[in-house]
Amino acid sequence: MRLRCAVLDDFQKVATEVADWSAVADEVEVVSFDRHFDGEDALAAALADFDIVVTLRERVPFPGSLIARLPRLKLLVASGMRNSVIDYAAAEAHGVTVCGTASSSTPPVELTWALLLGLARGIVEENNALRSGGPWQSTVGADLHGRRLGLLGLGKIGSRVAQVGLAFGMRVSAWSQNLTRERAEEVGVELASSKEELLAGSDFVSVHLALSDRTRGLLGPAELALLKPTAYLVNTSRAAIVDQDALLDALRSGRIAGAGVDVFDIEPLPDDHPVRTAPRLLATPHLGYVSQANYATYYGHAVEDIRAFLDGSPVRRLP
């Protein structure tokens, strides 16, 4: 009897198309789900008959309570090599091997600039007006050249966002708690003297920090109040870094010019979530990692992980 493998959150129905699963086809039956299972009870019921689960990023939590309800589960594959919503101790205790995949930083860099440019030039508003017979030109675009781009975080993604900003002729500065002047100079950007100075002096602010205890809620009401009324905020990192209620208040009151967001406190967003109707917001449904090349890597490596597990030599084990 073949093992059964569930692929979660395959919204585009491409998991079995972007990678070659033939290496495990004789031993594994693959079933992809194009809808999200909301809550532990729904997940436990849907996955009860599966031996392997492939999960996408950190959208689906696997706490110990869920793992305990999946006695058939033997292998859990998570895209990327870092996942904060899997209880690794519980997985080990229940004999579940956890493996990851490689992940490219290129797609989130590109999406960051798609959001920033879309905000700056009113792309969505102008496109909607053009297609619906609305006004011919109703916005005045914000310039990038000569403006200051402030980056919260200058790691793998932040440094590449910085390079694009420099190519646009922007003044780029960065801040994080451990960022050194040497690192900033290596990338070719200024080191902001403080988080507060970066926020108050930037025309565009983009978040590129990992979520941790010290970055959770890093931008709250007081920090958002420092932004210029003409400033734009972009977050393609993690929703919890920015106080969601404070951001909604800033958008509704017009205290900032706009925000571009790809990450949310609940994913997928409920139909009645206030983000869906917030003004001055350009939002995408967590597309930062969603690209053809990245998906080919995720699912191609998932196949390799499954094959290696079947052969008794798991690869890319987490944590």
Mean pLDDT on 303-315: 98
Q: Which of 147, 160, 286, 301 is catalytic?
A: 286
Q: Which of 267, 280, 316, 317 is catalytic?
A: 267
List alpha helices for the chain, DSSP H.
Answer: 40-47, 64-68, 88-93, 106-120, 123-131, 156-167, 181-187, 195-201, 221-224, 244-253, 292-310
- How do residues 101-132 score in pLDDT, each as one tens digit? 999 999 999 999 999 999 999 999 999 999 99
Q: How far apart (Å, rounded) are the C-alpha atoms in residues 258 and 4? A: 46
pTM score above 0.75: yes
If pLDDT is split at 50, 70 and 90, which confidence band does 12 have? very high
- How do residues 144-187 score in pLDDT, each as one tens digit? 999 999 999 999 999 999 999 999 999 999 999 999 999 999 99
Q: How many CA atoms lie within 13 A of 254 on its CB side?
A: 0
Q: Is 36 a catalytic residue?
A: no
Q: Is the pLDDT of residue 1 over 90?
A: no
Q: Which of 57, 148, 160, 238 is catalytic?
A: 238
Q: How many CA atoms lie within 13 A of 133 on its CB side?
A: 0
Q: What is the mean pLDDT of the chain?
A: 97
From the number of C-beta atoms within 10 Å of its C-beta (0-12, 13-18, 19+), residue 36 rates as middle
Q: Is 267 a catalytic residue?
A: yes
Mean pLDDT on 219-229: 98
